[in-house]
Amino acid sequence: MSTRIYIFDTTLRDGEQVPGCQLNTIEKIEVARQLEKLGVDVIEAGFPVSSPGDFNSVVEISKAVSNPTICALTRAVKKDIEVAADALKHAKRGRIHTGIGTSSYHIYNKLNSNPEEIIERAVEAVKYARKFVDDVEFYAEDAGRSDNEYLARVIEAVINAGATVVNIPDTTGYCLAQDYGTKIAYLVNNVPNIDKAIISTHCHNDLGMATANTMAGILNGARQVEVTMNGIGERAGNTSLEEVVMTLKCHKYLGYETGIDTTQIMKTSNLVSTLMRMPVQPNKAIVGRNAFAHSSGIHQDGVLKNRENYEIIDPVEVGVKESSIVLTARSGRAALKHRLSVLGYELEPRDLDAVYNKFLELADRKKDISDEDLEVLVGRNKNDE
């Protein structure tokens, strides 16, 4: 039996905060419907108190989507919680996500407070949110840089107050995987009532560690992961959904499963990228243009013999029709022969050599060689005969 990992998607909240990525309500509904098709468990739809537009989006997403839980973010402030509860009133299953900073940076420099007062405010917020909904998630902001003993006290108190999910964000993307994993293990082993709540990861990517940290969280007891499509989010972004889901799928022996229909990944990635005007870097894992493109001769030859020589994922699994063999000056005869045969040309070895030499000359001048270029090369070779 595999352990279920819940996918909490925050593309429409943490992702949408990014300058230039703002969506209108209609676009948000389109993304939310696609996230539902993808099979996410929770959609964080917005931060309702932040603007009337965000409030309205949470209302409309709650009406449009029925399978995932709809979550709304708040600070540990009564007014935020009241507004979030109001925005969620049409949700089949609504969740309030409330919280407060728990690192020394946040307690003293941001909130101008002290550790005991923070615990009181956290408990009060969770109790207040529970008056409106049964499902309350608490976030300990900057948990990544918070003292583990203090964090454990906060988490114990908010679970006693009624939190059903406890989110341990590495808000600044500071942690090493080993430290983040140890932090989750510390909570599992030192918070007496931890089995009454689900532990959630929420990792930012400032040092490029977000996916590794999320995996370390899962391996140490977290059962929910907070992610975004294409890894968009504040600054360097959040953990990307596709990376965690495909890591769990590729490493099935670990014994985890998600409810994601992975064949919807590419479609969702394209939709988010287009609507948010946020291009995906070509070498992005899973969804980048080059993720299934083979360009060097050695790799092309290997992949043509057997895809698994150089691919750990069948592209069809993530909604990509097929991997591609890109013809460049680094390509070998095997790749050229393969492409020519797809185009309907079966050349004798002598002709293949001649076309290959012409191909290399052209490829040194031009970055990519198209099918039209190949047609011209084959035609010229015929005329030379």
Q: Which residues bind ligand KIV (CB under 6 A)?
A: 14, 139, 141, 167, 169, 171, 202, 204
The correct pick among 5, 7, 8, 14 for binding Zn ion (CB under 5 A) is 14
Alpha carbon 371 to its chain centroid, in Å, reads: 35
Instruction: Compute the least distance from the CB of residue 334 to ligand KIV, in Å.
Output: 47
Query: Which residues, 314 to 343, sit near Zn ion by CB under 5 A?
Result: none
Nearer to ligand KIV, 171 or 247 (CB): 171
Inter-residue contact 282 to 288 (CB < 8 Å): yes
The C-alpha atoms of residue 246 and residue 11 are separated, in whole angstroms, by: 18
- Measuring CA to CA, how many Å separate 333 from each of 222, 262, 277, 300? 49, 34, 39, 10
**What is the three-class DSSP state of 194?**
helix
In terms of Cα–Cα distance, which of 139, 172, 174, 120 is closest to 44? 139
In terms of Cα–Cα distance, which of 223, 101, 103 is closest to 175? 103
> Who's near 257: CB < 8 A, 6+ residues apart?
2, 3, 4, 5, 248
* Residues facing 294 on adjacent strands: 325
Nearer to ligand KIV, 203 or 271 (CB): 203
Nearer to ligand KIV, 171 or 230 (CB): 171
Instruction: Compute the least distance from the CB of residue 285 to ligand KIV, in Å.
Output: 21
Nearer to ligand KIV, 232 or 266 (CB): 232
Inter-residue contact 232 to 19 (CB < 8 Å): no
Residue 139 partner contact from ligand KIV, Zn ion, none using kind-dependent CB cut-offs of 5 to 8 Å: ligand KIV
User: How many chain residues interact with Zn ion (CB under 5 A)?
Assistant: 1
Nearer to Zn ion, 8 or 128 (CB): 8
Which of 10-18, 57-65, 263-271, 314-322 is the region at the interface with Zn ion (rule: CB under 5 A)? 10-18
Inter-residue contact 224 to 165 (CB < 8 Å): yes
Instruction: Compute the least distance from the CB of residue 60 to ligand KIV, in Å.
Output: 22
Binding-site annotation: residue ranges for Mn(2+): 14, 202, 204, 238
Inter-residue contact 193 to 159 (CB < 8 Å): yes
Instruction: Compute the least distance from the CB of residue 265 to Zn ion, in Å.
Output: 22
Is position 141 an interface residue for Zn ion (rule: CB under 5 A)? Answer: no
Element (H, E) at 306: none
Instruction: Compute the least distance from the CB of residue 195 to Zn ion, in Å.
Output: 26
Please name the amino acid found at residue 365.
R
Nearer to Zn ion, 68 or 237 (CB): 237
Residue 247 partner contact from Zn ion, ligand KIV, none using kind-dependent CB cut-offs of 5 to 8 Å: none
Nearer to ligand KIV, 19 or 349 (CB): 19
Instruction: Compute the least distance from the CB of residue 307 to ligand KIV, in Å.
Output: 38
Binding-site annotation: residue ranges: 14, 202, 204, 238
In terms of Cα–Cα distance, which of 292, 221, 212, 280 is closest to 247? 212
The C-alpha atoms of residue 368 and residue 362 are separated, in whole angstroms, by: 9
In terms of Cα–Cα distance, which of 110, 86, 104, 111 is closest to 96? 86
Residue nearest Zn ion by beta-carbon distance? 14
Which of 12-20, 29-37, 103-111, 336-344 is the region at the interface with Zn ion (rule: CB under 5 A)? 12-20
Instruction: Compute the least distance from the CB of residue 43 to ligand KIV, in Å.
Output: 15
Footprint of Zn ion (CB under 5 A): 14
